Structure formats: structure tokens, C-alpha cells
Amino acid sequence: MAHRNVLIAGAGIAGPALAYWLHRRGLAATVVERAPAVREGGQTVDLRGAGRTVARRMGLERALQAHATREEGIRFVDRADRVKAVFSSGAFGGQGPVAELEILRADLSRLLYEETRPYTEYLFADEITELSQGDERVRVTFRGGAERDFDLVVAADGARSRTRDLVFGDAADTRPVGLTAAYFTIPGEPRDGRWARWYNAPEGRVVTLRPDNRGTTRASLSFLSPPRGDEQHEKLVPEAQKALLHRVFRAAGWETARVLAAMDTAPDLYLDRVSQVRMPRWSHGRVAVLGDAGYCPSPLSGMGTTLAFTGAYVLAGELAHHAHHEQAFTRYEEVLRPYAERAQDLPPGVPRIAVPRTRAGIRTLHLVLRAAARPRVAGQLNRFLVPPADTFALPSYSL
């Protein structure tokens, strides 16, 4: 095979999943991760449809179930914690707002790392700083100073991929969807129970609390922020981000005071402008993009992890079936792009529709959500509540 050794940037979800599938197809992978270890933090991610099938084919189903957060569903509540609408995790065939299989992102990432480390070279606390493509190989310079040659390089280093930008320049279109979101872990309280709770406060603010499987609670604070605005809150230092969140969420009501107080000592605050990534081509010479680095659909889609899994499966399958990397990369894109585009096609009005500015808007949202629980109406609201995870038939790449 022409492409025996593949360098992958990013040990998140897509990177280790690709290392797994390359190994299954007889190819070797090196993974370079900028962080000093597999990253903790983040909330739950869901594996749906084709992503779940890939996980099953990896033999991971039981391990995933063992780590599942087992939320019973989601309750939309008002300022006094009165339930205004409910979706159980089984609603919409297990594919609704809370999927049947929800797992902490950190657990999934660690699981994939443990699974692949026996046969994968992992380089932590390092990253690619230079890449030069020759006819036969790619010469890579690492921040640590090493220089090495690889047959192929895959950028799987997330929505703000630096590796992608080194190769594709400004071809990647990173589009903010109009929401800034902060995630962090806070001490659990008995009243957090086993249900996710979602609270809309006026002026386009949302607070969510989700019980995890470690006795702690995952909190998020999100607020509308104009997609074309130039405030770059994600670039502020954590103390300045906390001050901003205190300002934006002042007097928001419900459990917000508890959440803000706990945020001040949270070990893992992560704030970002929620964005999508679109690219005119997914490869350039011997370099391809994978997962959020190439086609991030944003957490609003509920499809990021599913795309990372299916992308890894398809890319490895095509590489094993084509001696020429150009053919493999072209097929990878032909097969997966339509699915990625469906995942990125957020319903009209999202996120504004789920994050109203006024009290009247919040009342309307609750009415619509309540109606969605009725089977006849649910069909019409599928587009808003059920991601298109089942719209992709996985190719079967025989070994």
C-alpha cells in the first residue's frame, strides 16, 4: 500500500477513531495532540444513527453503555423550576434532544485513546508547526523541534484547526451561528436528579444543568451574540470570561446564582463562539481534514461526534481501497459530504428560536415544545428536534 504511515493531528474524538480504523485496515498512525494529555472537560456528546453503527462495528457498544450518563430526558423549566415541557430520552425513537446514548466527551475520548494506544504512537504536548509536501512524502516540523516524514497527514484538530490553516490557508469558512456558550462542571445537588434541565431567561440567555455519571453536574451558560459581531470572547483569559458571564447572566433567575458562584472555582471552564466550518475541498495533496476541523456542524446540530466517527470509518476504508491517496480522498469526500451538509443544515431560526429575547417569546417556545410531545404535531417538528443521523447508509469496506 502506498500510504503506510499517517500522521493525525488531534487526539479528540475523530483522531483516535481514525487511528482505530487505519489499524483495522493494516495502516499505521501517529497522533500528535497539543494538550499534555487527553482533554477533560466538555459536556455529553451523542452518538446517533450511522455514528452508533460505526461504534458497534468497533466493538465499543458495551463500553459506551457502561459510561453512558443515563439521563432520563430533558425538562424545560421556568424561573420557579416548574416543568413547562418534557422529552424523555426515548422520545422520537431515542433520537430526540437527549439521545439514548449520551456519554461525557472526556470519557469517550479517553476510551478511544485506551483502545488505540497499544498500536498507535501518541505524541502529547506537541503540534505541527510546518508542513511541506513533496511528490512522495510530507515533511513535518513539530513544535518540539523534531522533523519527520509521513505518507499522509490528517487534520483532526477541531473546529479551530491550526493544521488545516497551515495547509489550506483561509479556505476554511468558520461561521459563527450567533450564540456564545460556556461549559463547566459544578458540584451536584440532590435536586439535579437524573434529568437535564433547560432554563430560558429573557434577553436571549439559556442556563442548562445536566447530571453526569460522576456525581457532578455539567452546567452551560449560552447567550445570543451577533454572528457578525467582532467581540472575540473566546480569546479572553478565563478570569475575564468569568467576569463577562457574571455580567451577562446577572439576575437571570432560577439556579443561575448557584451556577455563577460554582463557575468561579470550576476547573474546566470552556467558552466558545458556537460555529460551523465549511470547506470547498476536504483535501490538498497529501493532507485531508476530518471531523470538526473540516465540517464542524456545531453542538447545536447534535451531530459532531457522529460525523467524526463516520468520517474516520469512511476515510480509513477509502485509503485501504485505493493505492492513490488522491482517489481515496476524493471518494471520502464524495461519500461523506452530503451527510455532513445535511448535519450542517440547521433548521430555520436556530438558535434564535430556542433562545428567545422576550418573556412572550419564551412562553411561545414552551407552548410549541409542549405541543411537540403530541405524536401528531411531533412529525411536523421533527426537523427541529431530530438530527438527520439516520440519513446515511454506511459503505461496507470488506477487510
Ligand X SMILES: Cc1cc2nc3c(=O)[nH]c(=O)nc-3n(C[C@H](O)[C@H](O)[C@H](O)COP(=O)(O)OP(=O)(O)OC[C@H]3O[C@@H](n4cnc5c(N)ncnc54)[C@H](O)[C@@H]3O)c2cc1C
Check binding of 13 to ligand X (CB under 6 A): yes
Considering only CA atoms, which of 345, 297, 274 is closest in space to residue 46? Answer: 297
Check binding of 49 to ligand X (CB under 6 A): no
Candidates 27, 32, 138, 315: give the one binding ligand X (CB under 6 A): 32
Check binding of 9 to ligand X (CB under 6 A): yes
Strand 216-224 to 205-211 pairing: antiparallel
* CA dist., res. 228 & res. 178, Å (int): 8
User: How many helices and strands in the chain, by DSSP H and E?
Assistant: 13, 18
Compute the chain's Rg from CA coordinates: 21
Binding residues among 75-104 for ligand X as defined by CB under 6 A: none
Check binding of 183 to ligand X (CB under 6 A): yes
Check binding of 256 to ligand X (CB under 6 A): no
Q: At its nearest, how many Å lie between ligand X and the CB of residue 9?
A: 4
DSSP state of 213: S
Segment interacting with ligand X (CB under 6 A) among 56-64, 70-78, 286-294, 326-334? 286-294
Binding residues among 112-151 for ligand X as defined by CB under 6 A: 127
Considering only CA atoms, which of 223, 196, 239 is closest in space to residue 87? Answer: 196
Considering only CA atoms, which of 296, 299, 337 is closest in space to residue 315? Answer: 337
Strand 152-155 to 287-289 pairing: parallel
- Whichever of 97 and 362 has its CB closer to ligand X, that residue is 97
Before 351, cis peptide (omega within 30)? yes
Position 358: which residue type? T
- Whichever of 85 and 123 has its CB closer to ligand X, that residue is 123
Check binding of 175 to ligand X (CB under 6 A): no
**Number of residues forming the site for ligand X (CB under 6 A):** 32
Q: Give 202: exposed, middle or buried? Use CB within 10 Å, 0-12, 13-18, 19+.
A: middle
Q: At its nearest, how many Å lie between ligand X and the CB of residue 106?
A: 8
Candidates 105, 197, 242, 273: give the one binding ligand X (CB under 6 A): 105
Candidates 3, 6, 7, 14: give the one binding ligand X (CB under 6 A): 14
Q: At its nearest, how many Å lie between ligand X and the CB of residue 274?
A: 10
Interface map 292-311 toward ligand X (x if CB under 6 A): xx-----x----xx--x---
Check binding of 277 to ligand X (CB under 6 A): no
Q: What CA–CA distances, in Å, run from 294 to 162, 168, 195, 397?
A: 11, 11, 33, 23
Q: Which residues bind ligand X (CB under 6 A)?
A: 9-15, 32-35, 39, 41-43, 45, 105, 127, 156-158, 162-163, 183, 270, 291-293, 299, 304-305, 308
